[in-house]
Structure 1
Amino acid sequence: MVTAIIFFVILLILVLIHEFGHFFGAKKSGVKVEEFGFGFPPRLFGKKIGETLYSFNLIPLGGFVKLFGEEYHEEKKNKTDSQRAFVNKKPWQKTIIICGGVIMNFVLGWVITSYLFTVGVP
């Protein structure tokens, strides 16, 4: 039981840091983030802060960041936010958003490795 709890805590941290990379890249690129979710739906609970819904979902095996305009039909439906749609961003901005999760994984790995080399492992 303790092992399962530790597993889910570590998974939670890894998923949140990975998804934060996508979230941060999107926000800095001016893309509207509709939802930042841990786990896969159905949604257990969520809280809307600003324009983003932060949710905790039933299946805790991953996470997601839902961006406005990830699909072309969403962008056509709401022209007022068209400048904030993912599909309308420049290729380098899309690359930053897409690679943000992997970059955060590398940063986390570097921080943990640096800490272990500094403090030492028994």
Structure 2
Amino acid sequence: MTNGGVDRIVECTGSINAMISAFECVHDGWGVAVLVGVPNKDDSFKTHPVKFLNERTLKGTFFGNYKPRSNLPAVVEKYMNKELELEKFITHEVPFSEINKAFDYMLNGESLRCIIRMG
């Protein structure tokens, strides 16, 4: 279907099977797979080493290589100017006394972002 594989693929689900499939479907010689989704802590990425010897590239990133110290001021400015709608990404709010519930939401893939109220 792709005549040997795709040139680039970005995997965003965090499903270990999707991650492996993404890497295995890139073209030998120049294909690049970028893993963005966060897998379960117990998952293992297993593929045949020959896939790497065939010059496929596997990359990963947390938060798009975002650098808080240098990038955060621009994000705050965009938010304050109403150019960035962060509220739509907040799916849950919990009091600090229920912080474990926030981790459960995250680990079960049930939330995008959860606000933990301190007071």
Question: What's the TM-score once normalised by structure 2's chain length?
Answer: 0.20
- Structure number with greater Rg is 2
Question: What's the TM-score once normalised by structure 1's chain length?
Answer: 0.20
Structure with the bigger RCO (C-alpha within 8 Å, sep 6+) is: 1
* The structure with more strand, counted as a fraction of residues: 1
* The structure with more helix, counted as a fraction of residues: 1
